[in-house]
Amino acid sequence: MDLGLVGLGKMGGNMRERLRRGGHTVVGFDRNRDVSDVASLAELVEALPSPKVVWVMVPAGEPTRATVKELAELLSPGDVVVDGGNSRWTDDQLHAAFLAEKQIGYVDCGVSGGVWGLENGYALMYGGEASDVEKVQPIFDTLKPEGDHGAVHAGKVGAGHFSKMVHNGIEYAIMQSYAEGWELLEKVDMVDNVTEVFRSWREGTVIRSWLLDLMVNALEDDPGLESIRGYAEDSGEGRWTVEAAIDNAVPVPAITAALFARFVSRQDDSPAMKAIAAMRNQFGGHAVRTGAPAGGDVEGKTGATQAPGAAEAGAGQENPTSGAGPATGES
């Protein structure tokens, strides 16, 4: 099918490539003219047959709001907008109501897979009316991993991003556990090879996971994580998860502690946070600190570095209207 894709950064660019490999026609727009297929949103919309489907992969918040608002003036009744960034579910509900006034459908889609999604596929959690989801289904089927799982129509509008938010909260807690275990193993004199201990856990244990695999990758590259500063960003979704838990009186002590641990990392050079930063770098190409930050909690400033290949993957700006940060959070 034909798809318009807005935002061709690390994930958006790879998603365009995966969809094209799957036989779809993708018209991409990005303010970086080197990676963009068209010069404007208007030209992107004009190039699509009806009913038109436009997938937005720009930073959450005002950049996404501005893009949705502009698309509302360009699209027609029966068309569909998909927000595949990391928007908060409350924004989804506002966007859906706004577009419904013009009889334009809206689907929110949480996307996980990071820079590995091009080859492995992306885990997808989407919310919206069944009729709108049906128009996008061929795209979902191509983006998802092979097999029967990896994609879900989670519920009504907002359900996709809410599910992805909780996914990222869980991710915080798992990463924190691996990181704390690594720090303890490194601390004692009796363990001679911490990297090999972690590697041994990858087969047959109850704690094996892809995150564990990535931790081993990071330790192979830098056994003591000496080149990484113990400073870990938070994408915002960990905070939203804790806020939602408070609103619904659901105890989430592990996720909350993992979020607060990242705040601690802004104050001193935590060994465990080196492990968190290394894992984030492995799965998402997130920048890591190699020295004191140049100022503020902004990822990617001076003193940050990326995983090999991450710069190429993120050559396009995620956001066509603003120079804000990446469209996606942890993964």
Residues belonging to the active site: 164, 171
Per DSSP bridges, beta strands 105-112 and 80-83 are parallel
Q: How many residues does the chain have?
A: 331
**Other CB atoms within 10 Å distance of the CB of residue 167:** 18
C-alpha–C-alpha distance, residues 290 and 44, integer Å: 40
Cis bond before residue 77 (omega within 30° of 0): no
Asked if 83 and 65 touch (Cβ cutoff 8 Å), the reply is no
Asked if 67 and 56 touch (Cβ cutoff 8 Å), the reply is yes
C-alpha–C-alpha distance, residues 197 and 200, integer Å: 5
Asked if 282 and 274 touch (Cβ cutoff 8 Å), the reply is no
C-alpha–C-alpha distance, residues 285 and 288, integer Å: 9
Reading the block at residue 174, the tokens are 């798992």
C-alpha–C-alpha distance, residues 225 and 275, integer Å: 7
Residue 54 identity: V
Asked if 51 and 78 touch (Cβ cutoff 8 Å), the reply is yes
Give which of 192, 217, 212, 214 is closest to 202, Cα–Cα. 212
C-alpha–C-alpha distance, residues 305 and 284, integer Å: 13
Asked if 34 and 84 touch (Cβ cutoff 8 Å), the reply is no
